Structure 1
Amino acid sequence: MMSRLACASLALFALSGCAIHQNVKPVARLDSKTVCIFQNGNVRATFLDAYERALSNKGYEVRRLESGAPLLSCPVTSTYTANWRWDMAMYMAYAEIIVYKNGNTAGQATYDATRGGGNMGKFIGAEKKITELVDQLFPGTAGS
């Protein structure tokens, strides 16, 4: 009996290290239909392309800003970061999108699969995950 309990505990402990975390604090209604995104040269360009597409599909107009532009360049601005890892295939291990309204944080989405270990859910396509994050971060359509 004790060895079964020990095996079950060990299995549970091992699986707890295979967690993928996602946390989204949605943006409240925005008056602006334009979102200005600061370009991040340290992240694959495909991330920004997917982010822009997801916003456009929700009715937002997107303007790209240089990374050094002031935070108040637009009423609604956004930053992002992401990185990829290799484990049998490349996968997006971490992504964060922060939205600012008039320079103040208005919403944030974080996806963290860095401790995904044996969790096969980490192999979700980056564009699909980015779209999911944007849908949760901007719950309505532009102007709604």
Structure 2
Amino acid sequence: MKMKAVILLAVALLVSGCTIHQKVEPVQIDSGHRLCIVENPAVREGFLAEFSSTLDHKNIAYEIVDESAVAASCEWVARYTANWSWDLALYMSYAEIKIYRNGNLDGEAIYDSRRGGGNMNKFIDAESKIRELVDQLLNIKMASIFRSNIG
């Protein structure tokens, strides 16, 4: 009986160590505002391409900027980072997008499978995950446009 409890505890600890975490705190941007994306050259090009494509699909105005251009011209700023790992195949193990308004953190999306270990769900399609994170992170407040068209 004691041995079963020890084995059960060991399995529970092992499984809990193989978790994938995702957290999204959404941002609500008024329509008509422009999002400045600070380019991160340390991240694979495909990340920024998918991020931009998702913004295009959501009709969000954006501009890709260098770090030096942020302070002068951007109310809304997006910063991102992502890492890929190798475990039988190359996969995106970590992604983070943070949105700032006037220099203050307003929302973020984090995907973290670095503790995924034996969890096969870590082998995701990176483009789909980036789209999902951006979709959950960015909401556009359309009320003012809706009001002007209706009434």
TM more than 0.5: yes
- Provide the C-alpha distance between the structure 1 equivalents of 2:141 and 2:33, rounded to a whole number of angstroms: 5
Q: Secondary structure at the match of 2:62?
A: strand
User: Does structure 2 conserve the Cα–Cα contact (< 8 Å) formed by 1:22 and 1:110?
Assistant: yes
Q: Which residue of 1 aligns with 2:23?
A: 23
User: Does structure 2 conserve the Cα–Cα contact (< 8 Å) formed by 1:58 and 1:142?
Assistant: no
Deviation per CA, 1:55-104: give whole Å up to 9, x if none. 11111122110133234522211110001000000011111101112222
Deviation per CA, 1:87-131: give whole Å up to 9, x if none. 000011111101112222111111111111011111111111111
Q: How does 1:74-113 map to 2 (within 5 A)?
A: 74-113=74-113
Instruction: State whether structure 2 residue 13 is matched by structure 1 residue 13.
Output: yes
How much is the aligned-residue C-alpha RMSD, in angstroms? Answer: 1.6
What one-letter code is carried by the residue in structure 1 that aligns with 2:48? L
User: Does structure 2 conserve the Cα–Cα contact (< 8 Å) formed by 1:71 and 1:77?
Assistant: no
Unpaired runs of 5+ residues, structure 1, are: none
Q: Which residue of 2 aligns with 1:41?
A: 41
Distance 1:29 1:70, change over 3 A: closer
- Provide the C-alpha distance between the structure 2 equivalents of 1:142 and 1:47, rounded to a whole number of angstroms: 25
- Provide the C-alpha distance between the structure 1 equivalents of 2:32 and 2:129, rounded to a whole number of angstroms: 25
Unpaired runs of 5+ residues, structure 2, are: 144-151
Q: Which deviates more from structure 2 when the two are superposed, residues 44-53 or residues 70-79? A: 70-79
| Number of residue pairs matched by the alignment | 143
Report which of the two structures shows the higher radius of gyration computed on alpha carbons: 2
The structure carrying a bigger helix percent of its residues is 2
Superposition TM-score, scaled by structure 1 size: 0.91
Superposition TM-score, scaled by structure 2 size: 0.87
Q: Which residue of 2 aligns with 1:65?
A: 65
